[in-house]
């Protein structure tokens, strides 16, 4: 009987081994496929602006100013980049004469965008809030009406005042692409 059990055990082990070998070939067969998204890119925009009066004294260079004088000038802002923006403006000066510091009798300015007044008051306090959207390649024109009040007295004689207007562009908010 022991021989019979041994023989049966060996036969069973052989059949299991033969079954595993036969099924191993069948379970190792797998189909595969691939797909790609090649050459994807992101390119960032260029925010760039210019104005038509970029050099010293381009906007204004007036001498022999007397109380009651006015000067009318325009500046065209150009979006020379490829993304829309808004812009604001602020003024600064390196000197501080009465023409600058006296906000009543010193230099005054009114700034218009088209027919809309966007600032009126002392040149020293000039600050323009954000413009509307300026699309890529588009322009925006500002008109400056500078004045020296007729109320200015003798203390304003023989003064010279420099100033710089700085325009700062800000990109539009990002969007779903």
Sort 102 into a burial class: Cβ within 10 Å, 0-12 / 13-18 / 19+: middle
> 28 pLDDT exceeds 90?
no
How much is the average pLDDT of 2-26? Answer: 58
Structural domains of the chain in order of their starting residue, each with its CATH number = 49-170 (2.60.40)
Can you give the pTM of this predicted structure?
Answer: 0.79
**What Cα–Cα distance (Å) separates residue 65 from each residue in 20, 89, 107, 124?**
106, 25, 11, 17
What residues does 76 pair with on adjacent strands? 141
What residues does 72 pair with on adjacent strands? 145
Q: 104: which 2 tokens? A: 């009543």
Residues of the chain with pLDDT > 90, as a percent, come to: 80
**What Cα–Cα distance (Å) separates residue 173 from each residue in 21, 84, 88?**
65, 9, 16
> 11 pLDDT exceeds 90?
no
The model's pLDDT over 120-169, given as tens digits with 9 standing for 90+, comes to 999 999 999 999 999 999 999 999 999 999 999 999 999 999 999 999 99
CA 53/CA 73 separation, integer angstroms: 10
User: What 8-state DSSP symbol labels residue 25?
Assistant: H
Nearest CA-CA partner of 108 in 64, 156, 58, 148: 148
The model's pLDDT over 75-107, given as tens digits with 9 standing for 90+, comes to 999 999 999 999 999 999 998 999 999 999 999
């Amino acid at each position: 009987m022991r021989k019979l059990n041994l023989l049966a055990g060996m036969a069973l082990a052989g059949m299991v081994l033969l079954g595993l070998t036969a099924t191993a070939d069948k379970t190792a067969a797998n189909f595969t496929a691939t797909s790609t998204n090649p050459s994807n890119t992101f390119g960032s925009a260029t925010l760039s602006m210019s104005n038509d009066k970029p050099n010293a004294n381009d906007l204004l260079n007036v001498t022999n100013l007397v109380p009651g004088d006015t000067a009318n000038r325009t500046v065209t802002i150009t979006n020379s980049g490829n993304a829309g923006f808004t812009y604001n403006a602020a003024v600064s000066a390196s000197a501080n004469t009465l023409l600058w510091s006296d906000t009543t009798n010193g230099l005054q300015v009114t700034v218009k965008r088209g027919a809309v007044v966007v600032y009126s008051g002392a040149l020293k306090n000039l600050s323009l809030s954000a413009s509307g959207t300026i699309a890529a390649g588009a322009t925006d024109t500002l008109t400056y009406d500078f004045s020296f009040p007729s109320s200015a007295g003798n203390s304003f004689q023989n003064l010279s005042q420099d100033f710089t207007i700085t325009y700062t562009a800000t990109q539009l908010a990002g969007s779903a692409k």
